[in-house]
Amino acid sequence: MTATRVAVVASDGSARTGRVHTGRGSYRIPAFMPVGTRGAVKALDSADLDGLGVEVVLANTYHLMLRPGVEEIAALGGIHRFTGWSGHALTDSGGYQVHSLHPVVDDDGVEFTSVYDGAKLHLTPEGAVEAQGRIGADIQMVLDVCTTLPAEPGALRQAVERTAVWAGRARRHHRTFVDRPEGQALFGIVQGGTDPVLRVESARRTVEIGFDGYGIGGLSVGEPREAMLEALAATVPELPPDLPRYLMGVGDPVGLVEAIGLGIDQFDCVAPTRMARHGSILTGRGRLNLRNAAHTRDDTPLDESCGCSTCLRWSKGYLRHLLLVGEPTAWRLLSIHNLAQLLLLMEQARSAIAAGRFESFRSRVAAVWAP
Protein backbone atom coordinates (compact mmCIF):
# COMPACT_ATOMS: atom_id res chain seq x y z
CA MET A 1 0.00 0.00 0.00
CA THR A 2 1.65 3.23 -1.13
CA ALA A 3 1.42 6.50 0.75
CA THR A 4 0.11 8.31 -2.34
CA ARG A 5 -2.15 7.62 -5.28
CA VAL A 6 -3.53 9.60 -8.20
CA ALA A 7 -7.26 9.69 -8.81
CA VAL A 8 -7.63 10.88 -12.42
CA VAL A 9 -10.99 12.51 -13.05
CA ALA A 10 -10.36 13.53 -16.67
CA SER A 11 -7.72 13.22 -19.34
CA ASP A 12 -7.15 14.76 -22.75
CA GLY A 13 -4.46 12.92 -24.64
CA SER A 14 -1.67 12.41 -22.12
CA ALA A 15 -2.68 15.45 -20.05
CA ARG A 16 -4.63 14.56 -16.95
CA THR A 17 -6.39 16.21 -14.04
CA GLY A 18 -7.60 14.90 -10.73
CA ARG A 19 -6.20 14.61 -7.22
CA VAL A 20 -3.15 13.17 -5.54
CA HIS A 21 -4.24 11.49 -2.30
CA THR A 22 -1.71 11.42 0.54
CA GLY A 23 -1.47 10.71 4.23
CA ARG A 24 -2.32 14.37 4.86
CA GLY A 25 -5.27 14.69 2.48
CA SER A 26 -5.21 15.51 -1.21
CA TYR A 27 -4.18 18.18 -3.70
CA ARG A 28 -5.33 18.98 -7.21
CA ILE A 29 -3.27 18.26 -10.30
CA PRO A 30 -1.76 19.73 -12.36
CA ALA A 31 -0.20 21.57 -9.41
CA PHE A 32 2.44 24.27 -9.05
CA MET A 33 4.42 24.25 -5.80
CA PRO A 34 5.96 27.55 -4.63
CA VAL A 35 9.48 27.14 -3.30
CA GLY A 36 10.08 27.93 0.37
CA THR A 37 13.76 27.05 0.41
CA ARG A 38 14.48 27.94 4.03
CA GLY A 39 11.00 27.30 5.41
CA ALA A 40 9.29 30.32 3.83
CA VAL A 41 8.50 31.43 0.30
CA LYS A 42 10.67 34.54 0.14
CA ALA A 43 8.79 37.70 1.29
CA LEU A 44 5.59 35.70 1.96
CA ASP A 45 4.08 33.92 4.95
CA SER A 46 1.76 30.96 5.32
CA ALA A 47 -1.32 33.20 5.45
CA ASP A 48 -0.36 34.63 2.04
CA LEU A 49 -0.12 31.10 0.66
CA ASP A 50 -3.49 30.20 2.14
CA GLY A 51 -5.00 33.29 0.50
CA LEU A 52 -3.59 32.25 -2.86
CA GLY A 53 -5.02 28.74 -2.57
CA VAL A 54 -1.63 27.03 -2.56
CA GLU A 55 -1.90 23.34 -1.66
CA VAL A 56 1.74 22.15 -1.71
CA VAL A 57 4.95 24.00 -0.78
CA LEU A 58 8.52 22.83 -1.32
CA ALA A 59 11.31 23.29 1.25
CA ASN A 60 14.98 22.40 0.84
CA THR A 61 16.57 19.85 3.12
CA TYR A 62 20.13 21.08 2.52
CA HIS A 63 19.38 24.60 3.73
CA LEU A 64 17.17 23.50 6.63
CA MET A 65 19.83 21.04 7.83
CA LEU A 66 22.28 23.91 8.06
CA ARG A 67 19.95 26.50 9.57
CA PRO A 68 18.19 26.15 11.93
CA GLY A 69 19.01 22.42 11.94
CA VAL A 70 16.94 19.25 11.73
CA GLU A 71 16.74 18.70 15.48
CA GLU A 72 15.63 22.28 16.05
CA ILE A 73 12.76 21.90 13.57
CA ALA A 74 11.77 18.59 15.15
CA ALA A 75 11.83 20.17 18.62
CA LEU A 76 9.52 22.91 17.37
CA GLY A 77 6.94 20.42 16.13
CA GLY A 78 8.12 19.63 12.61
CA ILE A 79 7.89 21.60 9.40
CA HIS A 80 4.15 22.28 9.60
CA ARG A 81 4.04 23.63 13.13
CA PHE A 82 7.41 25.35 12.67
CA THR A 83 6.20 27.30 9.61
CA GLY A 84 2.52 27.63 10.50
CA TRP A 85 1.60 25.77 7.30
CA SER A 86 -1.21 23.21 7.33
CA GLY A 87 -1.04 22.24 3.66
CA HIS A 88 1.26 19.69 2.06
CA ALA A 89 5.01 20.04 2.46
CA LEU A 90 7.49 18.42 0.08
CA THR A 91 11.21 18.47 0.80
CA ASP A 92 13.92 18.27 -1.85
CA SER A 93 16.76 16.05 -0.64
CA GLY A 94 19.67 18.26 -1.69
CA GLY A 95 20.24 16.62 -5.06
CA TYR A 96 19.87 19.93 -6.86
CA GLN A 97 22.74 21.29 -4.78
CA VAL A 98 24.88 18.54 -6.35
CA HIS A 99 24.33 20.48 -9.57
CA SER A 100 24.52 24.02 -8.24
CA LEU A 101 27.23 23.89 -5.52
CA HIS A 102 29.66 21.39 -7.12
CA PRO A 103 30.34 19.32 -3.97
CA VAL A 104 32.54 16.26 -3.64
CA VAL A 105 30.50 13.22 -4.74
CA ASP A 106 31.49 9.60 -4.28
CA ASP A 107 29.65 6.28 -4.11
CA ASP A 108 28.79 6.79 -0.45
CA GLY A 109 27.21 10.24 -0.73
CA VAL A 110 27.95 13.95 -1.00
CA GLU A 111 30.23 16.29 0.96
CA PHE A 112 28.97 19.87 0.90
CA THR A 113 30.59 23.05 2.13
CA SER A 114 28.08 25.15 4.04
CA VAL A 115 27.08 28.34 2.20
CA TYR A 116 26.76 29.96 5.64
CA ASP A 117 29.99 29.27 7.51
CA GLY A 118 32.13 26.95 5.37
CA ALA A 119 31.55 23.92 7.61
CA LYS A 120 31.61 20.48 5.99
CA LEU A 121 28.37 18.51 5.70
CA HIS A 122 28.35 14.87 4.62
CA LEU A 123 25.01 13.64 3.28
CA THR A 124 24.20 10.04 2.36
CA PRO A 125 20.97 8.60 0.93
CA GLU A 126 20.13 7.25 4.38
CA GLY A 127 20.99 10.56 6.02
CA ALA A 128 18.71 12.42 3.63
CA VAL A 129 15.85 10.07 4.56
CA GLU A 130 16.46 10.62 8.27
CA ALA A 131 16.71 14.40 7.94
CA GLN A 132 13.48 14.66 5.96
CA GLY A 133 11.76 12.27 8.33
CA ARG A 134 12.64 14.42 11.33
CA ILE A 135 11.72 17.60 9.46
CA GLY A 136 8.30 15.99 9.00
CA ALA A 137 7.55 16.55 5.32
CA ASP A 138 4.55 14.83 3.78
CA ILE A 139 6.63 13.93 0.74
CA GLN A 140 10.39 13.48 0.73
CA MET A 141 12.69 13.02 -2.27
CA VAL A 142 15.58 10.57 -2.55
CA LEU A 143 19.11 11.92 -2.77
CA ASP A 144 20.12 11.93 -6.43
CA VAL A 145 22.90 13.15 -8.72
CA CYS A 146 21.86 16.04 -10.94
CA THR A 147 24.30 16.95 -13.72
CA THR A 148 24.66 20.30 -15.46
CA LEU A 149 23.81 20.13 -19.16
CA PRO A 150 25.34 19.68 -21.63
CA ALA A 151 27.22 16.80 -20.03
CA GLU A 152 29.58 14.13 -21.28
CA PRO A 153 27.98 10.68 -21.77
CA GLY A 154 30.21 9.25 -19.06
CA ALA A 155 28.99 11.82 -16.53
CA LEU A 156 25.36 11.08 -17.40
CA ARG A 157 25.95 7.34 -17.11
CA GLN A 158 27.58 7.77 -13.69
CA ALA A 159 24.70 10.00 -12.52
CA VAL A 160 22.17 7.36 -13.56
CA GLU A 161 24.12 4.59 -11.83
CA ARG A 162 24.63 6.45 -8.57
CA THR A 163 21.06 7.75 -8.52
CA ALA A 164 19.74 4.19 -8.93
CA VAL A 165 21.99 2.74 -6.21
CA TRP A 166 21.21 5.61 -3.84
CA ALA A 167 17.50 5.23 -4.56
CA GLY A 168 17.60 1.61 -3.47
CA ARG A 169 19.45 2.51 -0.28
CA ALA A 170 16.99 5.33 0.47
CA ARG A 171 13.95 3.10 -0.09
CA ARG A 172 15.25 0.39 2.21
CA HIS A 173 16.07 2.91 4.93
CA HIS A 174 12.75 4.71 4.58
CA ARG A 175 10.88 1.46 5.22
CA THR A 176 12.65 0.90 8.53
CA PHE A 177 13.29 4.42 9.84
CA VAL A 178 10.77 4.98 12.63
CA ASP A 179 11.33 8.69 13.32
CA ARG A 180 9.13 9.98 10.49
CA PRO A 181 5.45 10.89 10.12
CA GLU A 182 2.94 8.11 9.59
CA GLY A 183 2.20 7.83 5.88
CA GLN A 184 5.12 9.97 4.75
CA ALA A 185 5.70 9.37 1.04
CA LEU A 186 9.06 8.85 -0.63
CA PHE A 187 9.50 9.80 -4.30
CA GLY A 188 12.22 8.35 -6.51
CA ILE A 189 13.99 10.50 -9.10
CA VAL A 190 14.73 9.73 -12.75
CA GLN A 191 17.97 11.08 -14.24
CA GLY A 192 19.65 10.70 -17.63
CA GLY A 193 20.05 14.20 -19.03
CA THR A 194 18.57 14.62 -22.50
CA ASP A 195 19.45 11.08 -23.58
CA PRO A 196 16.12 9.26 -24.16
CA VAL A 197 17.77 5.84 -23.82
CA LEU A 198 19.28 6.71 -20.45
CA ARG A 199 15.99 8.27 -19.34
CA VAL A 200 14.10 5.07 -20.11
CA GLU A 201 16.70 2.97 -18.32
CA SER A 202 16.68 5.25 -15.27
CA ALA A 203 12.87 5.28 -15.15
CA ARG A 204 12.63 1.50 -15.34
CA ARG A 205 15.26 0.97 -12.65
CA THR A 206 13.57 3.51 -10.37
CA VAL A 207 10.11 2.01 -10.86
CA GLU A 208 11.50 -1.46 -10.20
CA ILE A 209 12.58 -0.29 -6.72
CA GLY A 210 9.05 0.94 -6.08
CA PHE A 211 8.23 4.44 -4.81
CA ASP A 212 5.17 6.47 -3.82
CA GLY A 213 5.70 8.88 -6.71
CA TYR A 214 8.34 9.83 -9.24
CA GLY A 215 10.36 12.99 -9.76
CA ILE A 216 12.02 13.76 -13.07
CA GLY A 217 15.22 15.62 -12.30
CA GLY A 218 18.19 16.95 -14.22
CA LEU A 219 16.15 19.00 -16.68
CA SER A 220 15.80 22.77 -17.06
CA VAL A 221 19.51 22.99 -16.24
CA GLY A 222 20.79 24.51 -19.48
CA GLU A 223 19.30 22.38 -22.25
CA PRO A 224 16.98 23.67 -25.04
CA ARG A 225 13.27 23.21 -24.37
CA GLU A 226 12.93 20.79 -27.30
CA ALA A 227 15.55 18.50 -25.73
CA MET A 228 13.77 18.67 -22.37
CA LEU A 229 10.46 17.70 -23.95
CA GLU A 230 12.05 14.82 -25.85
CA ALA A 231 13.50 13.47 -22.59
CA LEU A 232 10.10 13.83 -20.90
CA ALA A 233 8.32 12.09 -23.75
CA ALA A 234 10.64 9.10 -23.32
CA THR A 235 10.29 9.04 -19.53
CA VAL A 236 6.61 9.49 -18.72
CA PRO A 237 5.31 6.30 -20.41
CA GLU A 238 7.65 4.30 -18.14
CA LEU A 239 6.07 5.69 -14.94
CA PRO A 240 3.05 4.13 -13.19
CA PRO A 241 -0.20 5.89 -14.17
CA ASP A 242 -1.63 5.67 -10.64
CA LEU A 243 1.24 7.58 -8.98
CA PRO A 244 2.30 11.25 -9.14
CA ARG A 245 4.76 12.49 -11.76
CA TYR A 246 6.78 15.53 -10.73
CA LEU A 247 8.96 17.58 -13.07
CA MET A 248 11.50 19.30 -10.85
CA GLY A 249 12.55 22.93 -11.29
CA VAL A 250 10.36 24.06 -14.20
CA GLY A 251 8.21 27.20 -13.91
CA ASP A 252 7.92 29.04 -17.23
CA PRO A 253 4.37 29.05 -18.68
CA VAL A 254 5.21 27.31 -21.96
CA GLY A 255 7.37 24.69 -20.27
CA LEU A 256 4.64 24.00 -17.72
CA VAL A 257 1.90 23.57 -20.29
CA GLU A 258 4.00 21.48 -22.67
CA ALA A 259 4.96 19.18 -19.79
CA ILE A 260 1.33 18.87 -18.67
CA GLY A 261 0.54 17.79 -22.22
CA LEU A 262 3.03 14.94 -21.81
CA GLY A 263 1.42 13.74 -18.57
CA ILE A 264 3.27 15.61 -15.80
CA ASP A 265 1.27 16.30 -12.62
CA GLN A 266 3.26 18.75 -10.52
CA PHE A 267 6.05 21.31 -10.68
CA ASP A 268 8.18 23.62 -8.56
CA CYS A 269 10.33 26.63 -9.39
CA VAL A 270 11.74 29.76 -7.76
CA ALA A 271 11.24 31.73 -11.00
CA PRO A 272 7.90 33.50 -10.30
CA THR A 273 9.00 34.96 -6.96
CA ARG A 274 12.55 35.71 -8.12
CA MET A 275 11.19 37.51 -11.17
CA ALA A 276 8.80 39.47 -8.98
CA ARG A 277 11.64 40.80 -6.83
CA HIS A 278 13.26 42.15 -9.99
CA GLY A 279 10.08 43.72 -11.36
CA SER A 280 9.40 41.11 -14.05
CA ILE A 281 5.66 40.55 -13.93
CA LEU A 282 3.58 37.70 -15.35
CA THR A 283 0.31 38.74 -16.98
CA GLY A 284 -2.30 37.21 -19.23
CA ARG A 285 -0.71 39.11 -22.13
CA GLY A 286 2.88 38.10 -21.41
CA ARG A 287 5.71 39.55 -19.36
CA LEU A 288 5.65 43.15 -18.11
CA ASN A 289 8.76 45.06 -16.97
CA LEU A 290 7.53 47.17 -14.08
CA ARG A 291 10.76 49.18 -14.01
CA ASN A 292 9.93 50.83 -17.32
CA ALA A 293 9.35 54.57 -16.96
CA ALA A 294 6.10 54.20 -18.90
CA HIS A 295 4.48 52.87 -15.70
CA THR A 296 5.42 55.87 -13.52
CA ARG A 297 1.92 57.40 -13.65
CA ASP A 298 0.00 54.27 -14.60
CA ASP A 299 -3.03 53.96 -12.33
CA THR A 300 -4.11 50.55 -13.68
CA PRO A 301 -3.42 47.19 -11.99
CA LEU A 302 -0.68 44.85 -13.12
CA ASP A 303 -3.31 42.81 -14.97
CA GLU A 304 -6.88 44.07 -15.21
CA SER A 305 -8.18 40.50 -15.52
CA CYS A 306 -6.33 39.30 -12.39
CA GLY A 307 -8.26 38.83 -9.16
CA CYS A 308 -5.27 38.65 -6.81
CA SER A 309 -5.16 40.93 -3.77
CA THR A 310 -2.37 43.01 -5.31
CA CYS A 311 -4.28 43.76 -8.49
CA LEU A 312 -7.51 44.49 -6.64
CA ARG A 313 -5.93 47.27 -4.59
CA TRP A 314 -2.72 48.76 -6.01
CA SER A 315 -1.62 50.40 -9.26
CA LYS A 316 1.42 49.85 -11.44
CA GLY A 317 2.61 53.33 -10.55
CA TYR A 318 2.54 52.66 -6.81
CA LEU A 319 4.10 49.21 -7.11
CA ARG A 320 6.84 50.58 -9.39
CA HIS A 321 7.60 53.25 -6.78
CA LEU A 322 7.96 50.63 -4.03
CA LEU A 323 10.20 48.53 -6.25
CA LEU A 324 12.52 51.40 -7.24
CA VAL A 325 13.01 52.69 -3.71
CA GLY A 326 13.80 49.20 -2.45
CA GLU A 327 10.74 48.88 -0.23
CA PRO A 328 10.45 45.18 0.75
CA THR A 329 6.66 45.46 0.54
CA ALA A 330 7.12 45.41 -3.25
CA TRP A 331 8.62 41.93 -3.06
CA ARG A 332 5.58 40.62 -1.20
CA LEU A 333 2.93 42.28 -3.37
CA LEU A 334 4.60 41.38 -6.67
CA SER A 335 5.31 37.80 -5.53
CA ILE A 336 1.66 37.36 -4.62
CA HIS A 337 0.69 38.45 -8.12
CA ASN A 338 3.20 36.26 -9.97
CA LEU A 339 2.25 33.18 -7.97
CA ALA A 340 -1.43 33.95 -8.55
CA GLN A 341 -0.73 33.95 -12.29
CA LEU A 342 0.91 30.50 -12.27
CA LEU A 343 -1.76 29.08 -10.00
CA LEU A 344 -4.37 30.47 -12.40
CA LEU A 345 -2.51 28.79 -15.26
CA MET A 346 -2.81 25.47 -13.41
CA GLU A 347 -6.54 26.07 -12.85
CA GLN A 348 -7.01 26.87 -16.53
CA ALA A 349 -5.10 23.72 -17.49
CA ARG A 350 -7.29 21.60 -15.23
CA SER A 351 -10.44 23.11 -16.74
CA ALA A 352 -9.18 22.69 -20.30
CA ILE A 353 -8.34 19.02 -19.71
CA ALA A 354 -11.74 18.38 -18.13
CA ALA A 355 -13.46 20.04 -21.11
CA GLY A 356 -11.39 18.15 -23.69
CA ARG A 357 -9.86 21.41 -24.96
CA PHE A 358 -6.29 21.12 -23.78
CA GLU A 359 -4.74 21.44 -27.24
CA SER A 360 -6.42 24.79 -27.91
CA PHE A 361 -5.37 25.95 -24.44
CA ARG A 362 -1.79 24.88 -25.11
CA SER A 363 -1.80 26.83 -28.37
CA ARG A 364 -3.10 29.98 -26.65
CA VAL A 365 -0.40 29.84 -24.01
CA ALA A 366 2.28 29.30 -26.64
CA ALA A 367 1.00 32.29 -28.66
CA VAL A 368 1.42 34.55 -25.61
CA TRP A 369 4.63 33.17 -24.13
CA ALA A 370 6.65 31.39 -26.81
CA PRO A 371 9.88 33.32 -27.61
Just list the catalytic residues.
Answer: 92, 268
Cβ atoms of 276 and 337 closer than 8 Å: yes
Distance between CA atoms of residues 325 and 318, nearest Å: 11
Residue 286, H or E segment: strand 286-289
What ranges in the chain are assigned the alpha helix state H?
Answer: 46-52, 61-66, 70-75, 78-83, 95-100, 125-135, 153-176, 196-209, 225-235, 253-261, 271-277, 309-313, 316-324, 328-354, 358-369
Residues 6+ apart with CB under 8 A from 34: 41, 44, 49, 54, 57, 58, 268, 272, 273, 339
Which among 100, 108, 109, 94 is positioned nearest to 140, based on CA atoms? 94
Cβ atoms of 214 and 207 closer than 8 Å: yes
Q: Torsions phi, psi of 57, nearest 5?
A: -125, 140
Provide the β-strand partners of residue 33. 268
Cβ atoms of 29 and 88 closer than 8 Å: no
Distance between CA atoms of residues 22 and 217, nearest Å: 22
Residue 20 burial class via C-beta count within 10 angstroms: exposed 0-12, middle 13-18, buried 19 and up: buried
Residue 336 vs residues 51, 52, 87, 93: alpha-carbon distances, Å: 9, 8, 17, 26
Distance between CA atoms of residues 364 and 345, nearest Å: 11
Pairing mode, if any, of strands 110-113 and 120-123?
antiparallel
DSSP 13-31: TTEEEEEEE-SS-EEEESE
* DSSP single-letter state for residue 142: -
* DSSP single-letter state for residue 346: H
Name the amino acid, one letter, at 48: D
